[in-house]
Chains A and B, each alone.
Chain A
Amino acid sequence: MARLIAYREALREAMSEEMRRDERVFLMGEEVAEYNGAYKVSQGMLAEFGQKRVIDTPISELGFTAVAVGAAQNGLRPIVEFMTWNFAVLAMDQILNTASKMLAMSGGQINCPIVLRGPNGSAGQLGAQHSTAFESYYANIPGIKVVSTSNGYDAKGLLKQAIRYENDPIIFMESEVSYGDKMEIPDEEYYIPIGKADIKKVGRDVTIVSWNKMMKVALDAAAELEKENISAEVIDLRTIRPLDWMTILESVKKTNRLVIIEEQWPFASISSEISYRIQKEGFDYLDAPIRRLTAADAPLHYAPNLISLALPDVARTVKLVKEVMYQNK
């Protein structure tokens, strides 16, 4: 059996199920308790679990992340909600210098089983400081894993996996603009392993790789291309680090063409890393240069027409795919 529920509810179910299972799991963040979540992800959780385990914090990202990291090092399994990953930059010292490095620096004595989650990237006309996509920043760091989800089903399975089974720091990225998206979620409990990409649409002519809310662009573009008899295979990375490049390579072996759609800025982005890996492992299979569509190499401006120009869209994705198919003039 399955139910039609929103992405935010799937995230909530993941956290609540794991909190019922394990007393060591707690949720901490700004507005998560009495306000029921800035985006209502944690709605009702204070009522069920009480203030010991659903904890409102002051606006002190560095401070409360440090407390959660210390708690994780001392045997608890914290979930930290950032209102957006844009604010987590203030906590970067604890994530980079403490959470990710302590296992190595202590010679394997002190690990940090923590899940740091929240919405990532742009979400409308929010201005430059609320609109950055951070996957490439965190994916650069050894010692942590980075998950970035496009839908409720994946998000629930991956978040449950992160909370219950992972013993390393997990960066877990969502999207404000997807929280209301509804999807069939099984009644039965399920987990999705971290580090496995998912083929969301099978195709034969070109491979499109994306993740998080850019998956909508990728899938809509594939539907457009289908009308013109171009069959695109669409891969949802789901996990950024470790990168499941084998799934991409297997697809490229079949299609011989690769296009990557992402919301990162272009310099040293996730597409940069994928392109390196696929040219190295799949050089002989490529019939065209690997191409990508990224965010514009600029802070995201406020005006709606400038946002449209700066972020990947269906029209430009379709055009890019035709270019690697050598169908454009």
Chain B
Amino acid sequence: MLNLPYFCSSKFYLLATLFSKEIYLYWYELMKLIRQFELISEEKYKMEGKIRGFYHAYVGQEAIAAGCISATKAEDLFITSYRDHGLAIAKGMSINSCMAELYGKATGCAKGKGGSMHFFGKDVNFYGGHGIVGAQIGTGAGLAFAEQYRGTDNVVLCFFGDGAARQGILHETFNLAMLWKLPVIFICENNNYAMGTSVKRTSNVIDIYKLADAYEMPADTIDGMSAEAVHEGVERAVKRAREQGGPTLLEIKTYRYKGHSISDPQKYRTKDEVEEYKDQDPIQKIKQTIIENGFANEEELNSINARVDEKVAESVKFAEESPWPDDSEVLKDVYADENYPFIID
């Protein structure tokens, strides 16, 4: 059985559309882990008040993290918006450090300085967790610029939501990325709602992938409820970027089961709509494929579930037992210059 965090190696890359038992089980475990992490965190937020701040859950969108991670290599960089837990976990950040960050503890992945919206894991090439809608589209292209400048074949997966697609920086960045053929994949996780505003209420152009046309950028639309489809679409785009073919825009259609943030009363959509999407739950679909192909039986999957539950429970214990950041941290990590003379009064 595979252990998480686990990175897909190039052997998957060569498999094209044929996915092995190992990949299915890997996807299943990763998606279960992300979901369980979100469900338990939400409980700690709502029931116990141990997590605070703006909290944006990834529940329903797990297949994107799964397909993206299996279609890339460890050296590839990920950067995303504030809905960042799922991708951070997929990239291999430890569950303990992620949970501790939600708790604001010193052992968190950003030493308790970032919170839910600002997970960072430079050692696993996860470049955050960005809070200004759309800003990371440009910064992500910059990460890709550096890879191209150094002549590596690494690519950047730059994630943003459908709301960010209406920001000006998207257009400036698309233009620059095509002009310089940067190795970046722009991934719009279209969950149909920019907070409470549906896509069709934000633009005359509701097919976001078409925004690439103005810059002659290759684009594709992908079913985000299917890990297989995500993997295939991302793999094509990654191949193009690695071979100096430049950027791609992928519009991945997905759905978040939870509100925009934890405090969202969700008056803008019906319960029926949410239930409809839950019927095509990405984890259930993967489970079905695993059972039908005999990759594992219910009992084996239950043991994966148990392991995932245990991991998340452990992370809660770790976070609760961890110390708060030391008082001296207030003026640390502000400047790389350790002798910076701060104004005290």
Do the two shown chains form a genuine complex with each other? yes
Q: Which of B103-111, B191-199, B293-301 contacts A (4 or more CB under 8 A)?
A: B103-111
A67 touches B118 (CB 8 A): no
A205 interface residue, CB < 8 Å from B?
no
Which residues from B are CB-within-8-Å of A67? 138-139, 141-142, 145, 173, 176
The one of B110, B144, B176, B345 that contacts A63, using a Cβ cutoff of 8 Å: B176
A111 interface residue, CB < 8 Å from B?
yes
Q: Which residue of B lies closest to A57 (CB)?
A: B176
B176 touches A58 (CB 8 A): yes
A203 interface residue, CB < 8 Å from B?
no
A103-B333 contact, Cβ under 8 Å, with A70-B138, A71-B142, A94-B138: yes
By CB atoms of chain B within 10 A, which of A74, A105, A108, A166 has the most? Answer: A74
State which residues 53-87 of A face B: CB under 8 Å.
57-58, 60, 62-76
A107 touches B120 (CB 8 A): yes
A195 interface residue, CB < 8 Å from B?
yes
A: number of interface residues (CB 8 Å): 44
In angstroms, how far is the closest chain A Cβ from the Cβ of B168?
Answer: 7
Q: How far is the CA of A232 from the CA of B69 in the complex (A)?
A: 66
B112 touches A107 (CB 8 A): yes
In angstroms, how far is the closest chain A Cβ from the Cβ of B83?
Answer: 16
B233 interface residue, CB < 8 Å from A?
no
The one of A93, A102, A103, A105 that contacts B335, using a Cβ cutoff of 8 Å: A103
A98 touches B172 (CB 8 A): no
Which residues from A are CB-within-8-Å of B127? 73-74, 110
B322 interface residue, CB < 8 Å from A?
no
The one of B145, B337, B340 that contacts A70, using a Cβ cutoff of 8 Å: B145
Which residues from B are CB-within-8-Å of A71? 142-143, 145-146, 149
B179 interface residue, CB < 8 Å from A?
yes
In angstroms, how far is the closest chain B Cβ from the Cβ of A309?
Answer: 34
A195 touches B138 (CB 8 A): no
The one of B112, B113, B146, B179 that contacts A75, using a Cβ cutoff of 8 Å: B146
State which residues 149-172 of A face B: CB under 8 Å.
166-168
Which residues from A are CB-within-8-Å of B128? 102, 105-106, 110
Which residues from B are CB-within-8-Å of A102? 128
In angstroms, how far is the closest chain B Cβ from the Cβ of A136?
Answer: 14
B341 interface residue, CB < 8 Å from A?
yes
Q: Which residue of B lies closest to A104 (CB)?
A: B333
A66 touches B149 (CB 8 A): no
A106 touches B120 (CB 8 A): yes
B150 interface residue, CB < 8 Å from A?
yes
B135 touches A75 (CB 8 A): no
B175 touches A63 (CB 8 A): yes
Interface mask (B303-337 → A, CB under 8 Å = 1, otherwise 0): 00000000000000000000000000000111111
Q: How far is the CA of A167 from the CA of B334 in the complex (A)?
A: 11
A242 touches B341 (CB 8 A): yes
A7 interface residue, CB < 8 Å from B?
no
B110 touches A66 (CB 8 A): no
Which residues from A are CB-within-8-Å of B144? 70
B335 touches A70 (CB 8 A): no
A109 interface residue, CB < 8 Å from B?
yes
B169 interface residue, CB < 8 Å from A?
yes
Q: Which residue of B lies closest to A75 (CB)?
A: B146
A143 touches B335 (CB 8 A): yes
B57 interface residue, CB < 8 Å from A?
no
Which residues from A are CB-within-8-Å of B146? 70-71, 74-76
A97 interface residue, CB < 8 Å from B?
yes
A329 interface residue, CB < 8 Å from B?
no
A26 interface residue, CB < 8 Å from B?
yes
B67 interface residue, CB < 8 Å from A?
no
A107-B111 contact, Cβ under 8 Å, with A66-B138, A168-B336: yes
Q: How far is the CA of A3 from the CA of B141 in the complex (A)?
A: 42
16 CB-based A-B contacts, threshold 8 Å: A60-B175, A63-B176, A64-B172, A66-B135, A66-B137, A67-B173, A67-B176, A71-B145, A71-B149, A76-B146, A94-B135, A103-B333, A105-B113, A105-B120, A108-B111, A242-B341
Q: Pick the 9 closest A-B CB pairs, nearest first.
A: A70-B142, A66-B138, A63-B172, A107-B111, A167-B336, A74-B146, A107-B110, A106-B120, A108-B333
Which residues does A use to contact B, with CB under 8 Å?
Answer: 26, 52, 57-58, 60, 62-76, 93-94, 97-98, 102-111, 113, 142-143, 145, 166-168, 195, 242, 280
Inter-chain pairs besides A63-B172, A73-B127, A105-B118, 18 sampled, C-beta below 8 Å: A52-B149, A62-B168, A63-B169, A66-B172, A67-B139, A67-B145, A69-B138, A70-B79, A76-B146, A93-B135, A97-B135, A98-B132, A103-B333, A107-B109, A107-B110, A107-B111, A110-B128, A113-B336
